[in-house]
Amino acid sequence: MASRWKVTVRYGSDVSREGFDDLDQAIAAAEAATDEVLGDDPLSTVKAFRDYTPDQLVKARIEITGKGLISPPTAGLDIQGDGGMLAFTGGVRRKALKANSRKQVFAAIRQALEQ
C-alpha cells in the first residue's frame, strides 16, 4: 500500500524522500530533519556577481506532500543559512505562512495540510 504522506528533504546536494501513513509521523520526521539541519554550522556569505548573506540563502528545504493527482496538499519550510525558518504552502505556487517561532512554523504547516 502506498504511503499517504511523503516528506522530501533537500539539504545541500542531497535529496531524500520517505513515506508515512499519517500526518503526525510525517511532521515528526520533518521536525527531526529540521533539528539535523539546525545542528550544523550556519552558511557563510557567498560572493558571486553580488554578495549573498546567510539570511538570503536556503540551506535546506523540507516539504510534506499528500496524495492526489491534481494539486496534492503540500506545505513545508525553507531553513535559511542563518538558521531562520520560512514556512510555506503550495507546490509550484508557494504562499508564505505566518509563523514567528519553530512551534508556529509546524502548527502552520499542520493547519495547511489538514485543510
Kindly list the domain boundaries of the chain, sorted by start residue.
Answer: 5-114
pLDDT of the residue at 112 = 95
Q: Say yes or no to pLDDT of 55 above 90.
A: yes
**Using CA atoms, how far apart are residues 84 and 48, in angstroms rounded to an integer?**
22
* 3-class secondary-structure state, position 24: helix
The full DSSP string for 26-54 is HHHHHHHHHHHHHHSPPPPPEESSSEE-G
Q: Say yes or no to pLDDT of 78 above 80.
A: yes
Between helices 23-39 and 102-114, what is the axis angle to 10°? 150
Task: Please state, for a pLDDT cut of 70, what percent of the chain lies above it.
Answer: 99
Close Cβ partners of 108 (under 8 Å, ≥ 6 residues apart): 75, 87, 97, 98, 99
> Measured between alpha carbons, how far is residue 34 from residues 26, 48, 115 in Å?
12, 28, 23
Q: Say yes or no to pLDDT of 38 above 80.
A: yes
Q: How confident is the model at residue 87 (pLDDT cuts 50, 70, 90)?
A: very high
Average pLDDT, the chain: 94
Which one has a higher pLDDT value, 62 or 115? 62
Calculate mean pLDDT across residues 24-37: 98
What pTM does this model have?
0.91
